[in-house]
Amino acid sequence: MSLITLENYAEGKWVKGLRSSETLYHAISGEALYQTGSEGLDFAAMLAYGRKKGKALRNMTFHERGLMLKALAFHLMSKKELFYQISAFTGATRSDSWVDIEGGIGNLFANASLRRQFPNERYYVDGDVARLSKQNTFIGHHIMVPLEGVAIHINAFNFPVWGMLEKIAVNLLAGVPAIVKPASLTSYLTEAVFKEIIHSGILPEGSLQLICGSARGLLDHVKNQDIVTFTGSAETGKLLKSHPQLVHEAVPFTMEADSLNACVLGPDVNTDMPEFDLFIKEVVKEITTKAGQKCTAIRRIMVPENRLEDVKIALGKRLKSTTIGDPSVEGVRMGPLAGISQRNDVIARVEDLMKHQEIVIGDLHHFEVSGADKNKGAFMSPIVFFNDDPFHKTACHDIEAFGPVSTLMTYQNLDEAIELTRMGKGSLVCSVVTADPSHARDFVLGSANMHGRILILDRECAKESTGHGSPMPMLVHGGPGRAGGGEEMGGKRGVLHYLQRTAIQGSPSMITAVTNVYQQGAKGISDGIHPFRKRFDELVIGDQIITDKRMITSEDIDRFADLSGDHFYAHMKDTNFEGTMFTHQVAHGYFIMSAAAGLFVDSYDMNPVLLNYGIDELRFTKPVYPETEIFVRFTCKEKLPTETKNEEDIPKGIVKWLVEILDTSEEPVVGVATILTMVKK
């Protein structure tokens, strides 16, 4: 059978390499399936093309990019069965493939939803205003704009779909195009998904390019607006990170490296507790899922000394009952590794570890395979070592076998357990299984600086826990030291990695004009029409009214106290105020806010305001005493459009209003708030 040549996607065209550079094989049968090649690709031209065409992405708003990701996620979900068929060639079970394929698409959905945390603009205004002058005529802020370069993603073989989608979801939402370089071993699955992305026509031209063959020389052409991400071995990552062009151009480099992740059984857990079974299940799952080919897999198992035999027996029983073979055969729970070359590499690492510790569960050579030829496929038995002196026999803290391999060791107390986890020199994830909150707290605080994520597993969260090995889009994925020192995903944090943060300084009016967010002290716009009478589309940032005044009386305060039930001493006129912060009866802050609403709300006729959506940043800055006149400066601060859910839904958006409650003194501000209303378009 003739081999299929994988294609590269460069400068808007599908291109086959001029010559094959590598042959790719079926992980189960060993049959040659594909060949790759990238010879003839002009990497400098690809980067230049991405930078130039990336303008289309940058010119979209965060909301437009988010909706683009949502549409792409739905499209890929409709094609998932094709991806499952191809994923089977990698030796993955259906559940393995689900994590890779639907987990990857889930990243698109998750990042699409992040659009609501950003403005409907091409940029993001970050943090709080800095007041740089006494009279507030000079202020500072931060604005973040997309980098005008290309994100280069160099991915690992173990998650050919998830690895690509979790990265491009973030850079596309940020408005930065990407070049994807999957690991050759499983690049045929990446190519299949990538083709569907391009054929969908959902992304602007130039948003993505693909290199299925070698990318040697690509980094020679990066510039300071580009960004490089790498997932793979720590050794390869270090070589790439020190590339002279990256150093010369100060190109950001994010590394997510394989690490020696640990799982700790808490000292409080005994065999009749639910947590003991949870621990065994979690360890077995992480050894066998994807045949242990996960950067987050459990490589070191740490248990109290008095639980060693119990854990050995329970682990051995479960692992020996795990059927290895062709995942299409009923009952098979673990498939082969991704390829013969990968299996051989894992076996070499196991042999290195055998020099320092003994195998107590599994066998390198004697194991059964269901529905396949053990010698033709990349099959391997789960292997568990026991290290009887982990503080001195340290190979298990240095050598990683990237397959179904883990090392069991004991500790005397929680401090020892913490120290053993830290001996991995930095990990993506660690888990502790305990029912004792004090143990959980001590463990986390003692080991957090050496881990990117820590799972605390107990009976309370077990049913809904995503597990030790599942990074989530809204949380940081990465870790210190050996794990690479970088971070991916992380919700909004991940998007900000692709934006340049720039400080801007000027008058409130100028900063308002730049950010399109009203800054306190800027000039307002008054056209004689109450802002509540304007539809969402008609409102302009800075639309402002100054209300009539209202006198606050002692009787008002008494009535509010009776109505609300808030009889705090400061609101009672018969209180002895000697030694307090107040001179006499003071108005409730919530009454002042309510009175302010009575001043700024235009309630005489039906208007486009549908409802009050909430109050943010409410502050009471000084007391209001009886016989004080208050009024309100009410300004349109920011507009956030929303999408209609169906044909019956009213087109609308969220409007943020700055409410400044003032009195007639020299320092007039008595309260400040941001209120949100839902306004009809």
What's the 3-state SS for 68-90?
HHHHHHHHHHHCHHHHHHHHHHH
Question: Which tokens belong to 346?
Answer: 């894992």
Give the burial class of 297: count Cβ atoms within 10 A of its Cβ; 0-12 exposed, 13-18 middle, 19 or more buried. Answer: buried
Question: Which tokens belong to 473?
Answer: 């889009």
Question: Which tokens belong to 634?
Answer: 């009410």
How far is the C-alpha of 499 from the C-alpha of 58, rounded, in Å? 11
Question: Which tokens belong to 494?
Answer: 């991940």
Helix or strand (DSSP H, E) at 619:
strand 609-620
Strand arrangement of the beta sheet that strand 499-506 belongs to: 124-131, 139-146, 499-506
Task: Annotate 577-612 with DSSP letters as a single string.
Answer: -TTSS-SS----HHHHHHHHHHHH---SS--SEEEE
Determine contact, residues 189/161, Cβ cutoff 8 Å. Answer: yes
Determine contact, residues 151/514, Cβ cutoff 8 Å. Answer: no
How far is the C-alpha of 137 from the C-alpha of 513, rounded, in Å? 15
- Using the CB atoms, write b or e for 536-568: b if 16+ within 10 Å: beebebbbbbbbeebebeeebbbebbeeeeeee
Half-sphere exposure of 521 (CA within 13 A, CB side): 17
Tell me the C-alpha to C-alpha distance, in Å, between residue 670 and each of 87, 94, 128, 508, 567.
63, 62, 20, 20, 21
How far is the C-alpha of 662 from the C-alpha of 544, rounded, in Å? 15
Q: From the centroid of its chain, how far is CA 229?
A: 15
Q: From the centroid of its chain, how far is CA 287?
A: 25
CA quadruple 516, 520, 523, 526: dihedral positive or negative? Answer: positive
Which amino acid is it at 650? I
Backbone angles phi, psi at 254, to 5 degrees: -105, 125
How far is the C-alpha of 351 from the C-alpha of 346, rounded, in Å? 9
Determine contact, residues 80/98, Cβ cutoff 8 Å. Answer: no
Q: Work out the angle at residue 647's Cα, subtended by the Cα atoms of residues 57 and 76, and round it to the nearest 5 degrees.
A: 45
- Residues annotated catalytic, as ranges: 256, 295
Determine contact, residues 114/492, Cβ cutoff 8 Å. Answer: yes
Tell me the C-alpha to C-alpha distance, in Å, between residue 213 and each of 5, 7, 219, 251, 304.
10, 9, 15, 23, 48
Phi-psi region of 331 (alpha: psi -120 to 50; beta: other; left: phi over 0): left
How far is the C-alpha of 617 from the C-alpha of 21, rounded, in Å? 59
**Could you give the 3-state DSSP secondary structure of residue 621?**
coil
CB atoms within 10 A of CB 411: 21
